[in-house]
Copies of this chain bind each other. A is one copy, B any other.
Amino acid sequence: MSVTVDIWTDINCPFCYLGKKRFLDALSEFPGRDDVAVVHRSFELDPTLDPGTSGSVEDHLATKYGISLDQARANEARVGAQAAELGLPYQTSGRDFGSSFDMHRLLHHALAVGKQEDLLDALYAANFGETEPLFGDRARLVAVAVGAGLDELQVCAVLNDPEAYADDVRQDEQEAAALGVTGVPFFVIDGKYAVSGAQPTEVFERALTMAAADRPVVVGASADAECGPDGCAVPQS
């Protein structure tokens, strides 16, 4: 049997970058990995931003949390340390934050031509691993997409038409809202099991194993009110 994994993600989201690595670590050890199909779904941390807008990550963090720039930098350093533990490059200063709508449209285009994973990895690498701004630099976005194997003319055609794949992005976001997703990364395995956040690799392993076995998820604690072959959970006195 095959297993489908839908991952809601945003390019602005450092824990999506870390979570993808942890998920892939779990997947690479999963016995049924060849039957697992992964689709990356769109989620914008700030859907109110107009496409093209961007600004410094540190400024954004300071404003969002009401903290100083130094504190914002310290926060970034902490995330960078977590990335380093996973062997992921992470620039803790100089990155920008901005509208990811166009990137999500490109990811849907990439899905259509079989290069979604390549593009997502390239976007993560460009955004988190290098200091040049990605959100505020259209030419760089094109170069990154081409570097991921996409056709330059097609990439420009998608970026030049603001409605290209826009409904796909919105549909992903509506589906996330219907599922009650409030943060990313959010992994849904066979529509049945969800993992919220960049959980440890073991959590992904467990979710994959349960989905493959098609077992229902047990709700609530168990055991002291059931009857089994050894009796009925009657306390011995």
Contact = CB atoms under 8 A, between A and B. Distances in A.
Nearest to A43: B227
Contacts of A14: 227, 232
Contact of A216 (B19, B71, B179, B221): B179
Contacts of A10: 227
A144 interface: no
Interface in A189-237: 189, 191-200, 203, 206-207, 210, 213, 215-237
Contacts of A194: 215-219
A186 B219 CA distance: 11
A216 B236 contact: no
Q: Copy number of this protein in the oligomer?
A: 2
A198 B226 contact: yes
B75 A226 contact: no
A188 B219 CA distance: 10
A67 B237 contact: yes
A196 to B, nearest CB: 4
B226 A78 contact: no
A34 B230 CA distance: 37
A229 B215 CA distance: 33
B67 A236 contact: yes
Contacts of A219: 193-195, 203, 206-207, 210, 217
A18 interface: yes
Given A217-B219, A236-B71, A16 B79 contact: no
B220 A78 contact: no
Q: Which of A71, A180, A194, A220 has the most CB of B within 10 A?
A: A220
A135 to B, nearest CB: 15
Given A215-B180, A216-B179, A15 B197 contact: no
Nearest to A64: B231
A61 B236 CA distance: 10
